[in-house]
Amino acid sequence: MRILVTGGCGFIGSHIVDELVNDNHEVVVIDNQSANNDVFYINSKANYFNCDINDYDQVFELTKGVECIFHLAAESKIGVCIENPTLATKTNVLGTCNLLQAAKLNGVNKFIYSSTSAAYGNKNSPQIETMDVDCLNPYSVTKVAGEDLCKMYYNGEITEDDLRGSIKKLQDKVDAINVSIDDLSKKKEQDIMTV
């Protein structure tokens, strides 16, 4: 089977690439090696493309003839997402949407998305999918938005208006988190001044 792994040079994706190669699948990897990782893993039997998942045209070309996608490419560090919610939104939401749209148009049958337990806030393990979502930072907000996009594509046709509405709601949430972060920073500065 021809299988695409996004984020296949990263920590989790590289293990998936190794397993798929061992099972004799034809493996294509999309990874722009942008993570702040010490190592990017390469398996000599897979085909690597240094592509940004935000580049829709390239993503569209690379999903042609693919039967299954493991989507792991993400801004995966909570700290980076807090410092740069716009980058987190671009990669984790728009990038995921690019892959879903290309997968739909190219008739890819299976799409496996790696979400996060951070979707459930600080609740104790074990966390299960029926728990209420409780996003505490831009990482979980954007990962859950990616999950919602997967559900929308799975459930059927979506219109441009649906997408615009979801992206607007998401941007509002990220803006609200930005305001909270600003407030916290100001409070911290005031506390330091009064010590």
Interacting residues toward ligand NAD by CB under 6 A: 7, 9-13, 30-35, 37, 40, 52-54, 72-76, 91, 95, 114, 116, 143
Q: Which is nearer to ligand NAD, 131 or 179 (CB)?
A: 131
Question: How far, in Å, CA of 137 to CA of 174, rounded?
Answer: 8
Beta bridge partners of 49: 30
Is 41 noted as a catalytic residue in this protein?
no
The answer to whether 88 and 75 are in contact (CB under 8 A) is yes
Q: Least distance to ligand NAD from the beta carbon of 26, Å?
A: 20
Q: Least distance to ligand NAD from the beta carbon of 189, Å?
A: 31
Q: Least distance to ligand NAD from the beta carbon of 49, Å?
A: 9
Q: Which is nearer to ligand NAD, 6 or 153 (CB)?
A: 6
Q: Which is nearer to ligand NAD, 73 or 135 (CB)?
A: 73
Tokens matching residue 149? 């996009």
The answer to whether 80 and 88 are in contact (CB under 8 A) is yes
Chain position whose Cβ is nearest to ligand NAD: 10
Question: How far, in Å, CA of 7 to CA of 113, rounded?
Answer: 11
Strand order in the sheet with 2-6: 47-49, 26-30, 2-6, 68-71, 110-113
As annotated, the active-site residues are: 139
